[in-house]
Chain A
């Protein structure tokens, strides 16, 4: 709740700054300084034009496609690294190196291969996130406590059982963290790709904003990119992660919200009342 107030306060501050700097003092021209009201107007405008859904939908779908492929590649590569001492020693340093490459650097290469197409964007997303996932998956499995594996071995686990019943579960919280980080890589790479190409999406809308010298559109798209990123992180990954940590006693049990507690209390009271009535009639 408190963060909501904070954000609203920030909006007011922003609008206030705009009024002072642009309207009163005239230090900036109105096309050089975005304002919350201007951004809001732009949002409504895009909404009415019917393009907003398409812009966000396109980007999300593209991001998701690339991300899913990256997960498959990353997990396979990670497991290979974990299983093979040879690859661990020789391939892992290379992957680490490639992973430090900012995803924008894949854009020229991608365009030369695929032209200004959807595939070019997907390629950037995949390149930008699968190596990080691979390294993370390998590391998560390395971190499994030896005792967990020893116990399984002495109870006669075969390799398949060891992986599916022990290593997977033991590494799961860290896997989710890795996937979360992988998503943020994918999302950033997606923007890098979209900015360079012409397919409709958030990145392209951002660039159009620049071309039209429409600073409010630029600010709006930036806010949307942040908002969607944070939303997916908080509404999906963090929820799953916290649930996993909680069932293992690595996070304190969740305190029930006040609403839940009161609702339960009222319901119980209601049941009691109904039960009492029922009794007095029978």
Chain B
């Protein structure tokens, strides 16, 4: 499904400044788009708008041409906070979305097992959330998001709380899943390297511009190699843009 922002502006209640203004972005069906930008530039706001949790003050957001009016199961969100339920076990948390969607019980078991294995959490099914480390919690949240099997994935810095090895491994897993399923992914990150590794395009947001400063298509074959000369060049270019977008 294609996700389209048309002339979107967002001004929070009790605030007279725009957080985002005149945003025009189209994310094509099956495209992997990364968003980078300094802290507080409006990345999470953009994602909440796409999720339908916030309403735009101006303009509209469209899914295959249909305006988004609220949250729905066609767009799975992975929040910056993990948002797991402390009264459920790891396994119950992972199955939660499928239960809401009344997915067949056997199917639930299979998918839960599959994705828990993928995030290397077999053996932790019966644990409660407070018994896990921060990184493990993030991985449970990832597993839960993937079990939803929706056409669109909206991810807000899903790997930023993880150590380098784990986040590298998970981003490879994510790429593999994406290549297989051709989901549309909107991926927010503060790591330029992650963005260049994963994105078909990288959108640079900036608070001085109140929105898009640049859109950079990454024309590198997959899987990408971080020490590749072209890769490093993209990284430098994006880093410069992120920095120059910051207020002086």
Contact = CB atoms under 8 A, between A and B. Distances in A.
A147 B83 contact: yes
A152 B88 CA distance: 14
Nearest to A156: B73
Interface string B69-91: 01111011101010101111000
Interface stretch (B125-133, B164-172, B218-226): B125-133
A172 interface: yes
A154 B53 contact: yes
Interface string A209-244: 000000000000000000000000000000000000
A150 interface: yes
Contacts of A248: 86-87, 128, 130
B101 interface: yes
A155 B100 contact: yes
B211 interface: no
B79 A151 contact: yes
A47 interface: no
B185 interface: no
A4 B77 CA distance: 54
Interface residues of A, number: 20
A154 B87 contact: no
**Interface range for B:** 20 to 34
Interface string B44-63: 00000001110000000000
A150 B131 contact: no
Contacts of B5: none
A156 B101 contact: yes
B112 interface: no
B100 A150 contact: no
Nearest to B130: A249
Nearest to A153: B71
A242 to B, nearest CB: 15
B153 to A, nearest CB: 11
Contacts of A150: 51, 53, 71, 77, 79, 83
A268 interface: no
B85 A157 contact: no
Contacts of B51: 150, 154
A153 B79 CA distance: 12
B136 interface: no
Interface stretch (A14-22, A102-110, A162-170): A162-170
Given A155-B76, A249-B131, A148 B83 contact: yes
A154 B75 CA distance: 7
B199 interface: no
Nearest to B80: A147
Given A155-B73, A165-B96, 5 more contacts: A151-B79, A153-B53, A154-B51, A248-B130, A249-B130
